[in-house]
Amino acid sequence: MGNLQGKVAIVTGAGRGIGSHIALKLAAEGAAVVVNDLDEGPAGETANAIVSAGGRAVPVAGNVTEDDFAQRFVDAAVDNFGGLDIIVNNAGYTWDSVIQKMSDEQWDAILDVHLKAPFRILRAAQPVISGLAKSAKAAGEAVPCRKVVNISSVAGLGGNPGQANYAAAKAGVTGLTKTLAKEWGRYNVTVNTVAFGLIQTRLTSTAGDADGSIEIEGREIKVGVNPDLLAQMEMSIPLGRSGSPEDAAGAVYLMCTPESDYISGQTVVCAGGFNI
């Protein structure tokens, strides 16, 4: 019996990287998971891995910025597993440029995926969350503590050259988190942010790697970090290394456990001691 036995979780961007490890971790602790990814293949792979290990999961492919996505995602949790207890807003990518070269398209795309999409998902989840809380109260039962974990970055706390769009979006996540913590406290929901530092993913792999670009809505976007810059960044981390996807998933899991039931409206920095 895991810490999350009987819980139902939805995780965006869970077909690859950090999101996949978050979904697998929550499932290993007993949660049923709705796994989202932009593409059907990766979403299905993560869901199948969970099911093969004895867990419960369903894939929901789609772009989190689509108008109908949020409702479809929330409905998948209720229709397949009968409820909703954990929301992890993880999906995202970077599209960098210094501000004088950044287009409106770049700005809007990053704000949409990192800030507008979580807003829409939380808005779609509110009737479910409030309804479950009211039903428990009407039955004379204790309202279980539900969890929202919004993913941010140290860039949203301290800024980062070339990432005005990303940093602004992630700073906005902090405001969204603090507001929802105050609005949803009456439903016994904790709302927190986990801000990642340098984590090993395809978005932070060294520039020049074979898969050094991603395709989003027909756009090919370069990803990766210059090897020399990456080495310098790692030297600035007190623990002396970049974080693994497992490290990142562990931080999110902490905010989903019963031990964190009285922590809300906070930002937990998962960055190996890096001082912003």
Cβ neighbors of 170 (< 8 A, separation 6 or more) are 114, 152, 153, 155, 156, 157, 195
Distance CA 264, CA 148 (A): 9
Give CA angle at 127 (87, 267), nearest 5°: 35
* DSSP notation for 144-212: PPEEEEEEEEHHHHH--TTBHHHHHHHHHHHHHHHHHHHHHGGGTEEEEEEEE-SB-STTTSBTT-TT-
Q: Which helix (H) or strand (E) holds 247?
A: helix 245-254
* Residue 194 backbone dihedrals phi, psi, to 5 degrees: -110, 120
Write down the number of H helices and E strands in the chain.
9, 9
Distance CA 191, CA 263 (A): 8
Distance CA 56, CA 24 (A): 10
Name the residues annotated as catalytic. Answer: 166
- Contact status, residue 2 vs residue 28, Cβ threshold 8 Å: yes
Task: Give 82's DSSP letter.
Answer: S
